[in-house]
Structure 1
Amino acid sequence: MTMTAASVGPQRYQERYPAKLEAASQARRDITLALKTWGLLHLVDAAEQIVTELVANAVEHTDAATVGVSITRTGEESARIVVTDTSRTRPTPAVPSADAEHGRGLLLVEALAHGWGSEVVHGGKRVWADLLADRER
């Protein structure tokens, strides 16, 4: 008789952080650890920048007490980052002037992610970004 392990679903990591400036660095560290554990080292640089921007936006532009962060492995070489908060206002990329010091975060997310978006959900919103290996783009 041959036995095989039952699938238990995708690999996933999630955490909630107090909505403070330190949340972005904590989330970046945790997301990096998850990707390294899964052997997805090639996604780390983009993931670090994306999660930093999305968490910083949630902290700076909402009155949420906590920010939720998750990463789910969606394929052999891909993952999805999700950041949640209690605001129902969906983010939109700004059009900053050339000398502006802020306002480029979502443009960076758009450039680094294979795709990104947001949706209003019960209790707030969810902002997601998909990461793929270069050869899958």
Structure 2
Amino acid sequence: MTVTATARPTRTGHPGYTQTLPCAARSVVPARSLVRIALETWGLERLADTGALVVTELVSNSVTHTSTYSVRVTVSRPSETFVRIAVADNSKTIPTLRTTTGGHHETGRGLAIIDALTWRWGTDLLPEGKRVWGDLRSEVGE
């Protein structure tokens, strides 16, 4: 598997990182690495474990619920106060937060985990599909 990551400057002066990966379970590992590298570059190592879990759930949701060929992972810092982790795919289906009852369900918890770990999350419709994102607070003394 050959993948490349691209850093692009943003208006905050922090580069944003993107990587296009196959829509497959094996893409979770490079997606987690991309998130960790971005957070370490910004001096936000304390968010690395949470960010890695958020991107794992976002990629896993695309793998499980779409028939997309690839996903695009983006890690950006739109402001000093938050980091955005996003995964875009070619599906137009908007994910919904489900509540599961009991502890025997093996699926259906991805968005609940994202909801619990992030400051906020959402979905943007794109001409070619959608982007699901979660924001982590990055401000000092939050």
- Normalising by structure 1, what TM-score? 0.87
Q: Which has the larger radius of gyration?
A: 1
CA contact (8 A) 1:42 1:133 kept: no
Gaps of 5+ in 1: 1-6
Per-residue CA deviation, residues 72-121 of structure 1 (Å, 9 max, x unaligned), is: 11333521011100000010112222121221110010000000000211
Report 1:13-32 matches (<5 A).
13-32=17-36
Gaps of 5+ in 2: 1-8
Over 3 Å counting, the alpha-carbon distance change for 1:101 and 1:72 in structure 2 is same
1:113 equivalent to 2:118? Answer yes
1:59 equivalent to 2:56? Answer no
Q: Percent identity?
A: 38
Aligned partner of residue 39 in structure 1, secondary structure: coil
Report 1:86-125 matches (<5 A).
86-98=90-102, 99-125=104-130
Structural RMSD (CA): 1.7
Alignment coverage as a number of residue pairs: 130
Q: Which amino acid in structure 1 is aligned with residue 136 of structure 2?
A: L
Over 3 Å counting, the alpha-carbon distance change for 1:8 and 1:105 in structure 2 is closer
Alpha-carbon separation, structure 1, partners of 2:101 and 2:29 = 27
1:71 equivalent to 2:75? Answer yes
Partner of 1:128: 133
CA contact (8 A) 1:87 1:124 kept: yes
1:82 equivalent to 2:86? Answer yes
Q: Where does structure 1 differ by over 4 angstroms across 4 or more consecutive aligned residues?
A: none
- Normalising by structure 2, what TM-score? 0.85
